[in-house]
Chain A
Amino acid sequence: MAGYLVRRTLWLGVVLFLVALITFVLMHAVPGGPWDREKTLAPAIVANLNQRYGLDDPLWQQFVDYVTRSLRGDLGVSYIYQDRPVAEIISDSFPTTAALGLLALVFALVVGLTLGVVSSMRPNSALDYVSVLFATIGASVPNFVVGILLVVIFAVKLGWLPTGGWGDPKEAVLPAFTLGLLPAAYLARITRASMLEVLRQDYVRLAWAKGLPERTVMVRHAFRNALIPVLTVAGPLAATLVTGSFIVETVFSVPGIGRLFVQAVFQRDYGLIMGTVLFYAFLVATANFIVDMLYAAVDPRIRYR
């Protein structure tokens, strides 16, 4: 177990290093730099700025500097946000992204698991069809389309909810639903599939034969075991929540990291791009790591060596 943990952590380091390298190369291959404005700056000023931010060093040197500094937790400064440290910008906007993500996750878990279990209890009933249809539609319609259709219905036509913003609980309803819909649909599909598989097992048949009430059979004997395959999608789902966040945040003007990244790409803010990409990669990798650990905790048959 300890060996496994060490290897996983080392691998995480390797992945983050490669992600940093790829991003760095791509970023500097983008035509244009952070000083491209509508009004061209004097060459002397540009040279000055480049020197100040170390942009006149050879590229490999810039990369080595970046990596050594980021190991100390210094992610550099943002060029567009007046020299604010990138680490500070990220830690300022992360709570918003995290809150939105958690709301979406809770929504997805409650709706997805409930629908999955309910439809597996009565396969091929009308209720089952409705929930399978919901899951299929939810899994295939892109989140910005969902978000915009919701805005058209609930904000423009009915006027019940605001079109965007962040702070008021009312403003969180549409973004959280939009972000949570895809995970909810995936969870519903996989839970239903997994429940149907488990319900055919001998131990469930035995539970029925013992005359246990439906509730006990479903919850204690079936659902618990059905959760194991459900966990396998938890990793990819975390990634969906993360990547979904920058579209949903853009649609609903939520001031989180996702919107920050999109703006940073537009403005060639090197420091901010690197910081957000690494942060996202770290989040996704950590989520996968936690999922693998949970996996071992839920299923005693799995042991990591």
Chain B
Amino acid sequence: MLQLIRGFATARRGAAAQARDTDGIERPPRSSSLWSDAFRRLLKNRLAVSGLVFIITVSAVAILAPLIAPYDPTLQDYSIVQQGPSWGHPFGTDALGRDQLSRVIYGARTSLAVGVFAGALALSIAIAVAALAAIGGRLGDTVAMRFTDVIYAFPELLFIILLAAVMGSSLTSLFFAIGLVAWPDSARIIRAQMLSLQEREFVAAAEVLGASKKRIVFQHMLPNTVGPLIVVTTFGIPRAILAEATLSFLGIGIKPPTPSWGSMVQEGYAAVLATPALVLFPALAIALVMMAFTFLGDGLRDALDPRTR
């Protein structure tokens, strides 16, 4: 993943440099802050903007679910079991006669909650480990990074499945199961960024002025990793969402009747020959959210890399 991110960024940089070459005009550097500049570049990227708009829409749907959903997502009606799309139930009804549209709407809550909380937990662990590596000198760095290597060597999904099996299938235990596993990538990226910052003049200046190691790491270096952190987070949230959906699809995730897109896909898949629509809508919901985050993440990465200017 790490290399993928870097490789893609360098390619974009290359394309930008080429464009300038053909232009033939050397422009004076514009005076604009990193953030406003990054934001402007982000807005120019149509895919990233559409991803952002989609994510905002889904978040609004998740928050306003009780107002939007036409039915109670857990209401069972045995007179309309397992029907295809109709005017009353645009996404059809499942094997227990529950309205699929309402369940997809409420499922957005589950997905986003897991994405945000598990993503935040993973990010906190990643920052803590990277900070330990930066503060703790040679020994701290070795311990932190070897620990990261071991967790990294553990096939991620396997680990999450085991943890989820241990901690049970409540929403909270899923936050922990996913958050506790999905941090090594981010820890490596943040540490790499910190290592390169250590060589910079402003860090040397802070050292000369007698700032403590802790102060340098948290006051001077960490704020300068915000760019990569934002990108790491944008890729971390969909990973957590995917992990929840996969677990629920395998039947180890959220317990029924809480609506989850993953378990809806699993339940719908059992009846795929009779009513394919039941599996189609939750599957599309997962696919679209994942794509939106990827578009946004790609756009942010390109926008926040000042070298692509």
Which single member of B4, B14, B161, B293 contacts A196 (CB below 8 Å)?
B14
* B14 in contact with A233 (CB, 8 Å): no
* A190 in contact with B3 (CB, 8 Å): yes
* A142 in contact with B153 (CB, 8 Å): no
* A156 in contact with B154 (CB, 8 Å): no
* B283 in contact with A277 (CB, 8 Å): no
Nearest A-chain residue to B18, judged by Cβ:
A200
Alpha-carbon distance between A242 and B158 when the two chains are bound, in angstroms = 10
Which single member of B4, B17, B269, B276 contacts A233 (CB below 8 Å)?
B4
* A243 in contact with B4 (CB, 8 Å): no
Which single member of B12, B252, B279, B291 contacts A141 (CB below 8 Å)?
B291
Alpha-carbon distance between A156 and B7 when the two chains are bound, in angstroms = 40
Q: Which of A19, A145, A152, A281 has the most CB of B within 10 A?
A: A145
Whether, in the assembled complex, A96 has its beta carbon less than 8 Å from a beta carbon of chain B, the answer is no
Whether, in the assembled complex, B120 has its beta carbon less than 8 Å from a beta carbon of chain A, the answer is no
Q: Which of A21-29, A36-44, A105-113, A207-215 touches B? A: A21-29
Q: Which of A73-81, A84-92, A132-140, A297-305 touches B? A: A132-140
Q: Give the distance to chain A from B1, nearest Cβ to Cβ, in Å.
A: 6
Whether, in the assembled complex, B8 has its beta carbon less than 8 Å from a beta carbon of chain A, the answer is yes
Whether, in the assembled complex, A144 has its beta carbon less than 8 Å from a beta carbon of chain B, the answer is yes
In the complex, chain B residues whose CB is within 8 Å of the CB of A157: 276
In the complex, chain B residues whose CB is within 8 Å of the CB of A148: 265, 269, 272, 279, 283
Whether, in the assembled complex, A229 has its beta carbon less than 8 Å from a beta carbon of chain B, the answer is yes
In the complex, chain B residues whose CB is within 8 Å of the CB of A261: 158, 161
Interface of B is mostly: helix
Q: Give the distance to chain A from B16, nearest Cβ to Cβ, in Å.
A: 11
> Which interface class (under 10, 10 to 19, 20 to 34, 35 or more) fits A?
35 or more
Whether, in the assembled complex, A186 has its beta carbon less than 8 Å from a beta carbon of chain B, the answer is yes
* B11 in contact with A277 (CB, 8 Å): no
* B3 in contact with A232 (CB, 8 Å): yes
Interface residues contributed by chain B, number (CB under 8 Å): 52
* B11 in contact with A144 (CB, 8 Å): no
Alpha-carbon distance between A196 and B156 when the two chains are bound, in angstroms = 32
Alpha-carbon distance between A156 and B157 when the two chains are bound, in angstroms = 29
Which single member of B4, B166, B249, B287 contacts A26 (CB below 8 Å)?
B166
Q: Give the distance to chain A from B151, nearest Cβ to Cβ, in Å.
A: 9
Whether, in the assembled complex, A161 has its beta carbon less than 8 Å from a beta carbon of chain B, the answer is no
Which single member of A141, A156, A190, A250 contacts B272 (CB below 8 Å)?
A156
In the complex, chain B residues whose CB is within 8 Å of the CB of A27: 162
Alpha-carbon distance between A281 and B156 when the two chains are bound, in angstroms = 10
Nearest B-chain residue to A232, judged by Cβ:
B3
* B286 in contact with A193 (CB, 8 Å): no
In the complex, chain A residues whose CB is within 8 Å of the CB of B161: 261-262, 265
Whether, in the assembled complex, A204 has its beta carbon less than 8 Å from a beta carbon of chain B, the answer is no
Which single member of A18, A156, A186, A193 contacts B11 (CB below 8 Å)?
A193
* A239 in contact with B298 (CB, 8 Å): no
Whether, in the assembled complex, B10 has its beta carbon less than 8 Å from a beta carbon of chain A, the answer is yes
Interface of A is mostly: helix
* B10 in contact with A193 (CB, 8 Å): yes
Nearest B-chain residue to A190, judged by Cβ:
B7
* B162 in contact with A26 (CB, 8 Å): yes
In the complex, chain A residues whose CB is within 8 Å of the CB of B149: 15
Whether, in the assembled complex, A54 has its beta carbon less than 8 Å from a beta carbon of chain B, the answer is no
In the complex, chain A residues whose CB is within 8 Å of the CB of B150: 14-15, 18-19
Contact with A along B133-171 (1 / 0, CB 8 A): 000000000000000011001111111011101101000
Alpha-carbon distance between A250 and B250 when the two chains are bound, in angstroms = 8
* B11 in contact with A196 (CB, 8 Å): yes
Alpha-carbon distance between A239 and B279 when the two chains are bound, in angstroms = 28
CB contacts under 8 Å to A, within B232-285, are: 238, 242, 245-246, 249-252, 265, 269, 272-273, 276, 279-280, 283
Alpha-carbon distance between A19 and B158 when the two chains are bound, in angstroms = 11
* A197 in contact with B11 (CB, 8 Å): yes
Which single member of B11, B153, B252, B272 contacts A15 (CB below 8 Å)?
B153
If A136-B295, A190-B4, A236-B1 touch, does A145 touch B162 (CB 8 Å cutoff)?
A: no
In the complex, chain A residues whose CB is within 8 Å of the CB of B283: 145, 148-149
Alpha-carbon distance between A192 and B168 when the two chains are bound, in angstroms = 43
In the complex, chain B residues whose CB is within 8 Å of the CB of A23: 162
Alpha-carbon distance between A163 and B162 when the two chains are bound, in angstroms = 28
In the complex, chain B residues whose CB is within 8 Å of the CB of A14: 150
If A190-B4, A262-B250 touch, does A140 touch B294 (CB 8 Å cutoff)?
A: yes
Whether, in the assembled complex, A223 has its beta carbon less than 8 Å from a beta carbon of chain B, the answer is no
Alpha-carbon distance between A97 and B276 when the two chains are bound, in angstroms = 28
Supplied contacts A163-B272, A261-B158, A265-B252, 18 more A-B pairs, CB within 8 Å: A15-B149, A15-B150, A136-B291, A136-B295, A137-B291, A141-B291, A152-B272, A152-B280, A156-B276, A190-B3, A194-B11, A197-B11, A200-B17, A247-B157, A277-B155, A277-B158, A281-B155, A288-B153
Q: Name B residues whose Cβ lies closer than 8 Å to a Cβ of A.
A: 1, 3-4, 7-8, 10-12, 14-15, 17-18, 47, 149-150, 153-159, 161-163, 165-166, 168, 238, 242, 245-246, 249-252, 265, 269, 272-273, 276, 279-280, 283, 286-287, 290-291, 293-295, 298
Q: What 9 pairs across the A-B complex have the smallest Cβ distances?
A: A193-B11, A140-B294, A232-B3, A193-B7, A140-B290, A243-B157, A141-B287, A196-B11, A145-B283
Q: Name A residues whose Cβ lies closer than 8 Å to a Cβ of B.
A: 14-15, 18-19, 22-23, 26-27, 29-31, 123-124, 136-137, 139-142, 144-145, 148-149, 151-152, 156-157, 163, 186, 189-190, 192-194, 196-197, 200, 229, 232-233, 236, 239, 242-243, 246-247, 250-251, 261-262, 265-266, 273, 277, 280-281, 284-285, 288
